[in-house]
Amino acid sequence: MKIRLAGWDSTGLRSPDVKLSLAEHGKVPRLVLLQMPNGTGKTTTLNLIQAAMTGSAANWTAEQIGDLQRAGATNPTGTFVLRLLVDTSPLVFEIHFDFVEGAAAYRTSSPSLGGVVEGWKCPPTVRRFLTESFASLFVFDAEFADRLLKPQFAEAERAIDALCQLDLLDRTAAVAESDWDRASRGQGARTPQGLNLYRNRRDSLEKREKDLSRALKGLKRNNELLKEEAAQHEKSIADRIAESQKFREQSQELRERVSNARLRLAAASLQVMAYVRQPQLLDDRFGRALIAFRDSLDRARLPEASSRQFFLELAEEAECICGRPISDHERGQILEHASKYLGDELAGVINAIKADIGQHVGGDVRVAERQLYKVSTHELGAAEAEYHEADTALQALTAEAFREDEEKQLMSIQAQITEKRGQIEENEDQIREIERSARSTDDENTLCLAAIRKQLREARDKIAEISNTVRMRQETVAIQQLAARSKIIARDKLREVLRVECNERLRRILANDPIQIKRIGQSLELEKQRGASVGQTLAVGYTFLTSVLHRGSHDFPLIVDSPAGSLDDKVRREVGAMIPVLCEQFTAFMIPTERPYFLQALESRGTDDIRYLTLFRKSSGTQTLIQGLPNHGVTQTTNAVLVDGRDYFNQFELADEPEES
């Protein structure tokens, strides 16, 4: 990708009205020398070129914009148009200045933007280079070279970072940071400390879950043992009672009665439960409610997927299912109304519910079943009464046996049974608490195993979530460390490489008055910097920029204000000879007094691809110049003259814009 300066138009501004076209058939000259007397608006034009490239005028103050209006002029607007070539494609930025409102408005045109668009719109391919920071590296004045030597400006570091693309490392770090920020937004804990809190909670919940599971198992096993022991004791009591002549037979009989009554009670319970599952048998009100529910459901429909074919086939039959013949009229009616009877798959479920309610609620079936239900409840009552009666009789017999037991052995065994039953009861209370459903009020101290497992699941989920965030943060930090460290190493390497390279060139350029770069940090540090002349400083600046530009393989137009203004004759020769190899397009804004030595050196490099332009204002002081204009290569606007040609360029001697007379 290469950028070329193809020209500019200036109208109604402090600089003269001019339309400058540098491109011919998509090609621009390698060197453009634009000679303008002091006061013709060199600095204004350079500022406008930078502003057009970077979109910065949109942020200018009304005062800055007002300064662009020619002194004494009353025109309400002014326009600056910058034409660039990006590779071979045109890119045009237009700034419209409104001096009344003190505002600047942009328009951009480019084939990649689809033509002309409002505002400063930079095609993505060059956006990175057309920033204020970057553009100032290739559109600059002699003061820039001076700033390269001043640490407070850090221009040398900025130039290395931008032109050697170290800034790209910052971009990777920034993308990683914003990605992490987006991913972790809205999450609570995002740090290793937060993660540890949840890990501790998980560990304690895991321990609690294990303890409770173990306790539950122990309680159940203990209860089994206790029940077994209680049963043995009961058997022991029964055996002792049976040993007595007096109680043996009665005891055996009662035990059999109790046993049979228990079986009868169980059977009756099962029977009643079977009826309880049919609520319409319990009470008429259930039956009536079910009928009302059935009637509120949609009219019967058939599942469409499986039933549509039924109607299609029926319509083809000669006779209906009711036995009547099907004529064309009936056939049409069947097909037309079939959809009324078709519904979605849910229709099948609704039909089944309706059919079940019809079958089980109401009619003779209901009456008969209710009768059976009543019989079974009577049986349950009778079984229960029988059981209680037998059990009470057995207990009474046992109590009598206890009373007659002089050694009180039975009492002692019974006391053990009572104790064991108490333990069993206590254990069952705990088992119920451990096995109950979780409640919202349960905390980590609860005995409820389901609640602990729920909290454990939540803690594990949270850990997974935070772990991901923490891992992502660690990756982000590692990426940023890698980018930052790479940049530091690259800067150090490049600084040293550039220092050696620059010093070698400076030894040649300033052979009679050499100066060397001691160190490149944020700025350039010279050996004996205090004694360096302006010319030496500028030579160092050019040398450095040349080296960095070459290193970065950038193909930008270098646009310089007064390239040889402060140089002495010798340095002018050197700098003049250096410029043609600086870049592929060099545009210099210069005054006539810069020509000596500089121009000869420039031309001596063998390039004939040089455009010589001379621009001056029309004024009473330049009337004689206007009268002496050449026949060819002259363009005049209302307030300026532009002459294209080497001869005129070389003979032009007006160093300063004359005062209006």
Give the interface with another protein as residue ranges (CB under 8 A): 1, 124-125, 127-128, 164-166, 168-169, 171-172, 175-176, 179, 195, 198-199, 202, 460-461, 463-464, 466-467, 470-472, 474-475, 478-479, 481-483, 485-490, 493-494, 497, 551-555
Please say which residue, 125 or 232, places its beta carbon nearer to another protein: 125
Shortest reach from residue 127's CB to another protein, in Å: 6
DSSP 364-400: HHHHHHHHHHHHHHHHHHHHHHHHHHHHHHHHHHHHH
Shortest reach from residue 481's CB to another protein, in Å: 6
Please say which residue, 393 or 477, places its beta carbon nearer to another protein: 477
Please say which residue, 203 or 653, places its beta carbon nearer to another protein: 203
Shortest reach from residue 487's CB to another protein, in Å: 8
Please say which residue, 124 or 628, places its beta carbon nearer to another protein: 124
Residue position matching structure tokens 């007595």:
244
Shortest reach from residue 460's CB to another protein, in Å: 4
Please say which residue, 415 or 478, places its beta carbon nearer to another protein: 478
Shortest reach from residue 134's CB to another protein, in Å: 13
Cβ–Cβ < 8 Å for 439, 452: no
Residue position matching structure tokens 């590296």:
137
Buried b / exposed e across 283-320, counting CB within 10 Å, b at 16+? Answer: eeeebeebeeebeeeeeebbbeeebeeebeebbeeeee
Shortest reach from residue 498's CB to another protein, in Å: 10
For 132-247, where are the alpha helices, taking DSSP H only? 132-135, 142-147, 155-163, 167-184, 192-243
Q: How far apart are CA 14 and CA 648, in angstroms?
A: 25
Please say which residue, 159 or 272, places its beta carbon nearer to another protein: 159
Q: What is the dihedral of CA 593, 596, 598, 603, to 10 degrees?
A: 120
Cβ–Cβ < 8 Å for 619, 654: no
Q: With both helix axes pointing from N to C terminus, report the angle between 409-435 and 192-243 in degrees, rounded to the nearest 10.
A: 150
Shortest reach from residue 521's CB to another protein, in Å: 17
Shortest reach from residue 172's CB to another protein, in Å: 6
| Closest of 34, 42, 28, 15 to residue 595, by C-alpha | 34
Cβ–Cβ < 8 Å for 439, 185: no
| Closest of 2, 28, 19, 26 to residue 587, by C-alpha | 28
Backbone phi, psi, residue 334, to 5°: -60, -50
Shortest reach from residue 431's CB to another protein, in Å: 30
Please say which residue, 4 or 573, places its beta carbon nearer to another protein: 4
Per-residue DSSP letter, 594: G
Q: How many CB atoms lie within 10 A of CB 324?
A: 9
Please say which residue, 338 or 479, places its beta carbon nearer to another protein: 479
Shortest reach from residue 417's CB to another protein, in Å: 49
Long-range contacts of 198-203 (CB under 8 A, 24+ apart): 198/459, 198/462, 198/463, 198/466, 199/463, 201/444, 201/459, 202/456, 202/459, 202/460, 202/463
Shortest reach from residue 550's CB to another protein, in Å: 11
Q: Residue 115's beta-bridge partner residues? A: 110
Please say which residue, 167 or 603, places its beta carbon nearer to another protein: 167
Q: How far apart are CA 432 and CA 429, in angstroms?
A: 5
Token pair listed for 383: 């079984």
Please say which residue, 201 or 360, places its beta carbon nearer to another protein: 201
Shortest reach from residue 163's CB to another protein, in Å: 9
Q: How far apart are CA 589 and CA 172, in angstroms?
A: 38
Cβ–Cβ < 8 Å for 592, 615: no
Shortest reach from residue 122's CB to another protein, in Å: 10
